[in-house]
Structure 1
């Protein structure tokens, strides 16, 4: 009787171990929220870096910049000409 109980515990433990390994081996698909529509890309007016429009910093004239520093430098450059 003791032997059957030990055998049952070993079988259950091996089954749990194998199911966890099988679950880890299956490649996971990206979540549905990661599969969004394409975003509009814009170029920084100062350095030309392309970035999503949502991440861009714009000035009053509507030009896009990659950072506030480049927006400031862009204003300085336009003031010189």
Structure 2
């Protein structure tokens, strides 16, 4: 009987340790909330007008572009005019 009581006590202690550890890993529990990411500068594609972050845009002679095909098409059209 005393071994059963000792086993139950050990199980309870390990359960409490696990519950504390799980609670500590949750966001917002004791930790400061993380700041949201700074907004990115957006540009629009000179060919299709789609908005995309400036760091992902391809630079070209007529502005920023969403892809190489749009840059090529725009520059070819500008060369004809």
Q: Tell me if both proteins adopt one fold, taking TM over 0.5 as the criterion.
A: yes
Report the Cα offset of residue 79 of structure 1.
2.0
Structure 1's 17 and 37: CA in aligned 2 closer, same or farther, altered over 3 A?
A: closer
Q: Distance in 2 between matches of 1:3 and 1:12?
A: 14
Question: TM-score with structure 1 length normalisation?
Answer: 0.69
Question: TM-score with structure 2 length normalisation?
Answer: 0.69
Structure 2: 5+ residue stretches without partners: none
Aligned residues: 77
Matches within 5 A, 1:1-80: 1-20=2-21, 22-23=23-24, 26-27=26-27, 31-32=34-35, 35-59=36-60, 61=61, 63-80=63-80
Q: Which runs of 4+ in 1 moved over 6 A?
A: none
Task: Quote the RMSD (CA, aligned, Å).
Answer: 2.7
